[in-house]
Amino acid sequence: MICPGQGVGEVLLPPAGPAERGRIIVLLMISVFSDGALAKGGRRRRWAQAVLCERPMNAITFGTKRAFHGFLRVTRKPLASMGLTAARFDLLWALLTERREEWGSRGVWQSNLRRWLGVTAPVVTRMLRALETIGLVRRAREERGDRRQVRVWLTDTGQRCILEAQSAMLRAMRRLVYMAICFGQHRDPSKRLIHMDTVEGYLRALRSTFGDTATLYYAWGHPDD
């Protein structure tokens, strides 16, 4: 029997129980993301969408959400001890690593920060106001070029703060991630590279699919970094 949307020679999966069906759907989602079919379209994409839309499938979304909250939970206290949050860490890291010399001036435009972090202008303004209050950043209206822009830069205190936070947090978090995704093989550099590249690929596909616009990148040891 050929179902609508199924071409001749295509295999229709047989009926399965709830547990087996759940495994099939998860594997199907991974296949769609991993080979680029979601972006390119085609029969696989249409069939996958039909299967996934037949009933609510929250395993991936729920798991991703819980992993996100887990990261926030384990980093909250260490970051708070340095006067930071996860969002503040990202902003300061962007200022440290994405800084550009424009018109001979230090720092970056506030509008660029918004694009790198993938957030709205009011969010960046609110965060910068708080960081400026505690002496970690400075802001000033652009004096040359586009005077509508506001230039932002790290103070000496802000640079010391983000470097100390980076030293304390990133290495420990990298080790936790490797232990979580390598299934006991985290001491093998080649296994770490394979698993990390796979996870990053899935996350990049999910972010792209759901319209994430942030461009800030944390190098993690990939040969292309």
Confidence tier at 8 by pLDDT (50, 70, 90): very low
What is the pLDDT at residue 170?
79
Both 101 and 143 in one domain: the answer is yes
Q: Does residue 184 fall inside a structural domain? A: yes
What is the pLDDT at residue 2?
37
CA–CA separation, 201 and 172 (whole Å):
22
CA–CA separation, 139 and 35 (whole Å):
44
Give residue for tokens 């550099």.
Answer: 189
Q: Does residue 124 fall inside a structural domain? A: yes
Q: What is the pLDDT of residues 159-197, one digit of tens each?
A: 999 999 998 887 788 888 888 888 878 788 888 889 999
Both 168 and 112 in one domain: the answer is yes
What is the pLDDT at residue 50?
60
CATH classification at residue 147: 1.10.10.10
Given a cut of 70, whether residue 6 has pLDDT beyond it is no
Q: Does residue 62 fall inside a structural domain? A: no
Given a cut of 60, whether residue 30 has pLDDT beyond it is no
Q: Does residue 216 fall inside a structural domain? A: no
**CB within 8 Å of 94: residues ≥ 6 apart:** 108, 113, 116, 117, 216
3-class DSSP state of 137? strand
3-class DSSP state of 134? coil
Q: How many domains does the structure of the chain reveal?
A: 2
Both 109 and 155 in one domain: the answer is yes
Please provide the DSSP assignment of 147-177 as one string: TT-EEEEE-HHHHHHHHHHHHHHHHHHHHHH
Confidence tier at 91 by pLDDT (50, 70, 90): very high
Both 144 and 201 in one domain: the answer is yes
Q: What is the pLDDT of residues 110-166, one digit of tens each?
A: 999 999 999 999 999 999 999 999 999 999 988 777 788 899 999 999 999 999 999
Given a cut of 60, whether residue 97 has pLDDT beyond it is yes
Mean pLDDT within 64-69: 90
3-class DSSP state of 140? strand
Two tokens at 143? 């004096």
Both 99 and 156 in one domain: the answer is yes
Sequence letter at residue 168: A
Q: Does residue 103 fall inside a structural domain? A: yes
Given a cut of 50, whether residue 72 has pLDDT beyond it is yes
By residue range, what is the domain housing residue 94?
A: 84-209
Own/partner long-range contacts of 116-124 (Cβ < 8 Å, ≥24 apart): 116/214, 116/215, 116/216, 117/90, 117/91, 117/214, 117/216, 118/212, 118/213, 118/214, 118/215, 118/216, 119/214, 124/91
What is the pLDDT at residue 89?
94
Q: Does residue 93 fall inside a structural domain? A: yes
* pTM greater than 0.75: no
Mean pLDDT within 98-119: 78
Both 95 and 177 in one domain: the answer is yes
Q: Does residue 143 fall inside a structural domain? A: yes
Residue 172 has a CB neighbour count (10 Å cut-off) of: 13
Element of type H or E holding 154: strand 150-154
Both 36 and 95 in one domain: the answer is no
Both 38 and 111 in one domain: the answer is no
Given a cut of 70, whether residue 215 has pLDDT beyond it is yes
Highest mean pLDDT among 13-22, 23-32, 193-202: 193-202
Both 44 and 136 in one domain: the answer is no
Both 34 and 108 in one domain: the answer is no
CA–CA separation, 93 and 166 (whole Å):
8
Given a cut of 70, whether residue 214 has pLDDT beyond it is yes
What is the pLDDT at residue 158?
95
Both 126 and 174 in one domain: the answer is yes
Both 93 and 191 in one domain: the answer is yes
What is the pLDDT at residue 218?
87
Burial class (CB in 10 A: 0-12, 13-18, 19+), 44: middle
